[in-house]
Structures are given as structure tokens and as C-alpha cells.
């Protein structure tokens, strides 16, 4: 009997992006609301995505088995 396929956690698939080398990219925290209390420099540095730390990468990869 064939082994069952693993399901991807859809919440993780929406939050994480896998690079060509297999690293995990994730959106930055702190850029949803309350911008009046943040400086212009802080808001500018919140642009883009960042790489997930090496301690958290195994957890993210386990949620997306085929990524």
C-alpha cells in the first residue's frame, strides 16, 4: 500500500516564501498599523522581507514538506 502524502499547513504557505537556495523569507513585524509613533527611518527599514533565522528554519520547513 502506498504511503500517504503529507499536507502543507496552508497558514505557513501564505506567510513564508522559499528562496532558490532553500532559505525561508518572511515578512517583517510591526508594519500593519500605528505608524504615527514610528520614525520615518523605522518605517523605511520595514520595507521588504527578511530571512528567517537558522533556529526557526526547521520549524518552518516541517510545516511545508514539499517546499
Check whether 67 has a pLDDT greater than 90.
no
* Highest CATH level, class, for 10-63: few secondary structures
For residue 52, the model assigns a pLDDT of 97
CA 28 vs. chain centroid, Å, equals 9
Q: pLDDT per residue over 1-60, tens digit each?
A: 788 999 999 999 999 999 999 999 999 999 999 999 999 999 999 999 999 999 999 999
For residue 2, the model assigns a pLDDT of 87
Check whether 65 has a pLDDT greater than 90.
yes
Give the whole-angstrom CA distance, residue 13 versus residue 25: 11
Domain boundaries, the chain: 10-63
- Angstrom CA distances, 3 to 6, 48, 62, stand at 9, 39, 18
For residue 39, the model assigns a pLDDT of 97
Amino acid at each position: 500500500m502506498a504511503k500517504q502524502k503529507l499536507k502543507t499547513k496552508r497558514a505557513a504557505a501564505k506567510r513564508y516564501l522559499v528562496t532558490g537556495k532553500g532559505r525561508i523569507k518572511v515578512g517583517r513585524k510591526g508594519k500593519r498599523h500605528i505608524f504615527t509613533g514610528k520614525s520615518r527611518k523605522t518605517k523605511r527599514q520595514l520595507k521588504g522581507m527578511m530571512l528567517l533565522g537558522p533556529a526557526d528554519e526547521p520549524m518552518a520547513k516541517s510545516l511545508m514538506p514539499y517546499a
